[in-house]
Structure 1
Amino acid sequence: MAPRKAWIIAGCVGALSVIAIVLGVTLSQGLSFQPGCESCRPDGDMMDYLLDTGHISHRDGLLVTWYHAANNRSEMEKALNSDIMVLEADVNVEGLNTPNETGIPIMAHPPIIYSDNTLEQWLEAALNRSNKGIKLDFKSIKAVGPSLDILRKQTEKGRVQRPVWINADILNGPNVPIPIAVNASQFLALVQEKYPNTTLSLGWTTLYIASAPNRTYTHHMIESMHNLVKALPQKVTFPVRAVMVRAAWPHFSWLLSQSERYSLTLWQSATDPVTVDDLLYIRKHSAVHQIYYDLFEPLLSQFKQLAQKRSSSCRG
């Protein structure tokens, strides 16, 4: 990102943060949440919520489990009937960029632009039939505004009694040859205007090819993100590609030190050669409540077993 462009975006977001603080207070008036459960609200801490609802025994991101792409009705049903703690789903616009575009938010991961499940239907099922946390992932700015309006209406009715994460990749990251990130200033402005009482999940676009030379996250990339969010009132988790994190750990360690509002969510593409050693290194050099691990099996179970064994030996 050019320095002038970064400065302009940061300046816009800085101004928006002041509006967000006032707006957040205003919008939260009249909303009702479970008495005695501070985390049972859209802007509640996800780990505290899972602890309060008995899903986990202590504040450790390794205990949290995730269901990927709970989009169409079949996958949504599997997710709702599972013991997974957080539902991850992708929101798109029906018929995006075609003559059939309707503006209706649907549950589909691009390039898919049609679905048997709208966001309204998905929320109805998730809110009625589970107490799972919610993470909504946006790849198109067109889906954001209408989706936040729907979320807002459900929240005003007192139905969203759980944390909600709003996710988008808003900066270009390692190995991506063309800019494909969601527009940062537009995305953050929409959240502040329409649904500020949430947790932001903000990442970088990435590309990783195992057989090719790959770069990792740079300090400039991490600092650019921090400059965008440092004045915002929300909690922020940064989804980062796990296979690239250890090589860039000094940068991410610096990022986590900048605010108690920050956490990382390590994610893995199905073909990424993430190693248990790298994960153990990251865990050793961070607080257990700072990192979520959104990883595939069998890697996740192997990592959990060794991490818990090391933790037990340290206590002994």
Structure 2
Amino acid sequence: MAPKKVWAIVGAVGAVSVVAIVLAVTLSQGRSSQSGCESCRPDGDMMDYLLHSGHISQRDGLLVTWHHAANSQSEMEKALNSDVMVLEADVNVEGLNTANETGVPIMAHPPAIYSDITLEQWVEATLTRSKKGIKLDFKSIKAVGPSLDILRKHTENGRVQRPVWINADILEGPNRPIAIPVNASRFLSLVQEKYPNVTLSVGWTTLYIPIIQDKTYTRDMIERMHGLLQDLPQKVTFPVRAVMARAAWPHFSWLLSQSERYSLTLWQGASDPLTVDDLLYIRKHSAPHQIYYDLFEPILSQFKQLAQKRSGSSRG
């Protein structure tokens, strides 16, 4: 056989081998979840994951528990040592918009721009010491790209065997006409480019003012959000300020009907005068798996007790 033909065959075999290796790596990353657990992956369904791990007994968002603002070493330790199911923390850039800005993602909620723990350290500890779900909240677009790179690295190493939510307010909401949310197109583009296998948690900037409490989410706000998300492949949960949810329920009911990928996460501001009646109304007009309840005590326990009592009565 002529030398040129030999090298051509070797080259072809080499090319096939490279393709095979790349394909094998890709497939191995896709199989990074625990055996027999389809939800044990960054884009896994949070309720299915918690059901599989034995933390909840049924697909009901009311059973899911949260730890807020695990943004320091002490708060992270408290969260890791607790029995909460999902760790929620805020990500910022070290020294944001100062001469000392480093570009390093840290755990901090604005206006804080310094912390005693970086995102890299936080992720390492959380993955090593727990099986809790992860929710990362971004208030600055500068933190998103570097943070997704960190998550992708750990995922490619097969370590992120749990659902991950990426949260940001990307549209203006009630009472915030001059608010500047995280840039929607840039945020969504970064997720598609760097870390698409994830759950999106995207919402609206809000401000609750009791004297104008009739202000709530409008149909236009909800339709604009749906327009941004309808063609994306990810699961989506929409954070909704709970005190405003009932008045806008026809709009949110419509939103939930648009896709099986959609859910809501009702959240409560520390001083929001949320009522159990409003929560019971929403629960009555939705499916248990469609709504997560990220609320404060004592209203959470009061609501949970009444909701479970009514559920038991209806089964009887």
The normalised TM-score by structure 1 is 0.91
In the alignment, what sits opposite 1:4? none
Q: Contact (CA 8 Å) 2:87, 2:132: kept in 1 or not?
A: yes
**Kept in 2: contact 1:92–1:108 (CA 8 A):** yes
Partner deviation per Cα, 1:193-250 (whole Å, 9 max, x = no partner):
0000000000000000224444100000000000000000000000000000000000
1:76-104: CA deviation from partner (whole Å, max 9, x where unpaired): 00000000000000000000000000000
Matches of 1:87 and 1:34 in 2, distance apart?
20
Residues 90-137 of structure 1, C-alpha deviations (whole Å, 9 max, x = no match): 000000000000000000001000000000000011000000000000
- Cα deviation for residue 180 of structure 1 reads 1.5
State whether residues 62 and 292 of structure 2, in contact with CA within 8 Å, keep that contact through their aligned partners in structure 1.
yes
Q: Is the Cα–Cα contact under 8 Å of residues 69 and 89 in structure 1 kept in the other structure? A: yes
1:84 is matched with: 84
Aligned to 1:51: 51
CA distance in 2, matches of 1:110, 1:214: 28
State the one-letter code of the partner of 2:46: M
Count residues in correspondence.
Answer: 292
> Take 1:281 and 1:162, find their aligned partners in 2: how far apart are those partners?
32
SS at match of 1:187: helix
Name the residue aligned to 1:29. 27
CA, structure 1 residues 57+212, in 2 after alignment: closer, same or farther (shift >3 Å)? Answer: same
Are 1:102 and 2:105 an aligned pair? no
- Equivalent residues in 2 for 1:166-185 (5 A)? 166-185=166-185
- Contact residue 65 and residue 84 of structure 1 kept, 8 A: yes
Give CA deviations for 1:156-212 in whole Å, capped at 9, x if unaligned.
000000000000000000000313110000000000000000000000000002244
Q: 1:133 matched to which residue of 2?
A: 133
Partner in structure 2 of residue 226 of structure 1: 226
1:40 aligns with 2:63: no
Identity of aligned residues (%): 81
Verify the 8 A CA contact 1:175 1:214 in the aligned structure 2.
no
| Matched residue SS, 1:77 | helix
Structure 1 residue matching 2:288: 3-state secondary structure: coil
Matching residue's letter, 2:226: H
**Counterpart residue number, 1:191:** 191
Cα offsets for 1:250-271 (capped at 9, x unmatched): 0000000000000000000110
**1:248-307 deviation digits (Å, cap 9, x = unpaired):** 000000000000000000000110000000000000000000000000000000000000
Gaps of 5+ in 2: 1-22
Q: Is the 8 A contact 1:134 1:163 kept in 2?
A: yes
The answer on whether the counterparts of 1:91 and 1:119 sit within 8 Å (CA) in structure 2 is yes
1:248 aligns with 2:251: no
| Preserved CA contact (<8 Å) 1:95 1:114 | yes
2:210 counterpart SS class: coil
Does the Cα contact within 8 Å between 1:110 and 1:139 map onto a contact in 2? Answer: yes
Q: Report the TM-score, using the length of structure 2 for normalisation.
A: 0.91
Identify unmatched segments of 5+ residues in structure 1: 1-24
Residue 237 of structure 2: SS of its match in structure 1?
strand
Match of 1:285 in 2: 285
Q: Distance between the aligned counterparts of 2:230 and 2:83, measured in 1?
A: 35
